[in-house]
Amino acid sequence: MSYSNIAVRKFDAVIVGAGGAGLRAAIQLSESGLKVAVLSKVFPTRSHTVAAQGGVSASLGNSEPDHWTWHMYDTVKGSDWLGDQDAIEFMCRKAPEVVVELEHFGMPFDRTDEGKIYQRPFGGHMSNFGEKPVRRACAAADRTGHAMLHALYQRNVRARTQFFVEWMALDLIRDAEGHVLGVSALEMETGEVSIFHAKATIFATGGAGRIFASSTNAFINTGDGLGMAARAGIPLEDMEFWQFHPTGVAGAGVLITEGVRGEGGILRNASGERFMERYAPNAKDLASRDVVSRAMTTEINEGRGCGPNKDFVLLDITHLPPETIMKRLPGIREISIQFAGVDPIKAPIPVVPTCHYQMGGIPTNYKGQVVVPVGDEPNVPVPGFYAAGECACASVHGANRLGTNSLLDLLVFGKASGETVVEDLKQMPAEHRSLPADAIERTRERLERLDARSGGESEYETRLALQRVMQAHCGVFRFKDKLAEGVEKILEVEQRVGKVAIKDKSKVWNTARVEALELDNLIEVAKATMISANARLESRGAHVRDDAPDTAERPNGRNDTEWLKHTLWSRDGNSLAYKPVKLEPLTVESIALKTRSY
């Protein structure tokens, strides 16, 4: 296949990804009269934002007094003080504005009797700086993400945003001065590659939860934006921080809610022992998520897991009367039959701690500009490059995300990145900067490698190996030796990724080629995660190490003296650098460090 006559399509701005962040950014640009292209691997309303159920947080105070400074406090505490307080202030202050704006876009929020947006309580949402729970989550039943995405999409249709559906962005294009000039992209229907030449490029590609064997993330979440950024020399920030849920169906990742343990479900190891009695004698199976996840991981790591690979434990409700299961847990029974192949009335459900959300990502400031260290300055904007949503690290989630802040992140930073592009473009010359002669070289090399190789590694087997290494060595509870071994193993997997061969060499709808290109992105995220986690010698938020335990000197294993800093992993040499956490908010006093406890 020849890649010599590449079409060049010129836009003011190109947005990669059409989930919540991409669509919110696109509204800002299109309504400003700019010529915008939005690229998406799927139809926009198929984006993973649709799966978000819980809600979006904003201190509207519709049901009881609330204030953005209380929301800010909860977010900083949730982040275990790794979040940047300027970005967190910006997000929490903007929350009421973006939520009301979304309502005006047609979002069908649940209502109070007075017609205001209904707000429900949510874990970690507190009034008066941690005093008591407050109702701050705005929702549309259990379909908040779905309703949000449809409202944003319709608004884009009105603004005549141009969508390129079932296109996969392949590589970021930068010139010799480091300016970002757009992306190369593959149209799946034709197999043709084009250059999207733009003055501004916004990445809104979502997370990369598919690096783990057990993940709640849909298959689409392959970290494409992170892979492209890493290959173009942009470091990835705080990639060691991933949120996990204790009970996903082993092998599938589909969530089993905590309600099952609430109804009397018991976790058992290979010998049938109720192991939580040893780890949490009082709360047992109802201990908090992190305690349960760590206990499960310890059982598996010490050889007491179940199945041929001893890599899961069992969630047992067979002692409950069948009528109780049918009445109170019908959805869970259905999921268990469908995804674990067992009827939980007759047999226990195989479960493992399961990856859910990525806190790290492409480093940005609160304006959505991608920032990198230059000399002594840690946060210098990369001209023409912006990012928002789960693929970005602003950093508002720090070491652990507060529930409902993910949808808020999409709205606030999607809008902010769009606003910043509009302002930055006013300062730029009318003409696009010239594309470098080697604009397509990286993409050409990747595609020609797949076209030419007749034999090599299987994409499917290599992806599986990557996911298994990440799950076994860098899961919810981390061990020094396992991490060190994991670094070696993931670098071995990287060698295999470089040798992947595909049998199908056709152009049109070649899904094997697309999956191999996705794997190029997954491996960058996996390396960043493993290497960053191996290096961070403390426990903080979602990064919990066995060798950094809870002590009187270091509560929860957190070490602010040495580790109150952001990690920056670079693909070149797998090198690590660090930059300070921004402890100074924009207008209010800093929220002082203290032990995180609930």
Partner 1 sequence: MRSDGAPTLHHDDLNRLRWRCTRRAFLELDLLLGEFLDQRFNGLTEEQARAFAVLADLDDHELWPLVNGSQTCDDPQQAAVLAMLRESRENPA
Annotated binding site for substrate: 245, 257, 356, 401
Q: What does DSSP assign to residue 433?
A: P
Site map (CB under 8 A) of partner 1, residues 512-531, x = contact: --x-----------------
Of these, 64, 189, 277, 461, which contacts partner 1 (CB under 8 A)? 189
**Choice among 9, 120, 143, 289 that is catalytic:** 289
Q: What single DSSP character describes residue 63? A: S
C-alpha closest to that of 442 among 225, 185, 75, 59: 185
What's the closest the beta carbon of residue 512 comes to partner 1, in angstroms? 8
Contact yes or no for 52/409 (Cβ under 8 A): no
Query: For residues 129 and 219, which CB has a smaller minimum distance to partner 1 in the complex?
Result: 219
> Contact letters (x/-) for partner 1, 11-50, by CB under 8 A?
------------------------------xx--xxxxxx
Q: How many residues bind partner 1 (CB under 8 A)?
A: 36
**Between vectors from CA 19 to CA 526 and to CA 98, what angle results, nearest 5°?**
120
Q: Does 510 bind partner 1 (CB under 8 A)?
A: yes
Q: Rounded CA gap, 393 and 395, in Å?
A: 5
Integer Rg of the chain from CA: 23
Shortest Cβ distance from residue 255 to partner 1 (Å)? 9
Binding site listing for FAD: 17-22, 40-55, 224, 390, 406-407
| CB of 250 vs partner 1, minimal distance in Å | 13
Please report whether residue 461 would count as binding partner 1 according to CB under 8 A.
Answer: no
Residue 232 carries which side chain, given as an amino acid letter? A
Q: Work out the burial of residue 506: count CB atoms within 10 Å of its CB; fewer than 13 is exposed, 13-18 middle, 19 or more buried.
A: exposed
Q: 210 vs 545, which CB is nearer to partner 1?
A: 210
Reply yes or no on whether 289 is catalytic.
Answer: yes
Question: Residue 567: how many CB atoms within 10 A of its CB?
Answer: 26
Binding to partner 1 by CB under 8 A, coded x per residue (else -) over 337-356, reads: xxx-x---------------
Work out how close the CB of 253 gets to partner 1 at its nearest, in angstroms, rounded to a whole number.
6
Return the number of the residue (143 or 289) whose C-beta is nearest partner 1: 143
Here the tokens at position 526 are 């996996």
Closest CA to 189 of 169, 170, 163, 166: 166
Q: Output the six-digit token pair for 582.
A: 């921004």
C-beta of 68 vs 312, nearer to partner 1: 312
What would the two tokens of residue 543 be?
């990064």
* Amino acid (1-letter code) at residue 214: S
Neighbours of 431 (CB within 10 A): 7
493 phi and psi angles, rounded to 5 deg: -60, -40
Q: Where in 216-235 is the site for partner 1 (CB under 8 A)?
A: 216-220
Residues assigned a catalytic role: 289
The site for partner 1 (CB under 8 A) is made up of 41-42, 45-51, 143, 146, 166, 188-189, 215-220, 252-254, 331, 334-335, 337-339, 341, 506, 508-511, 514
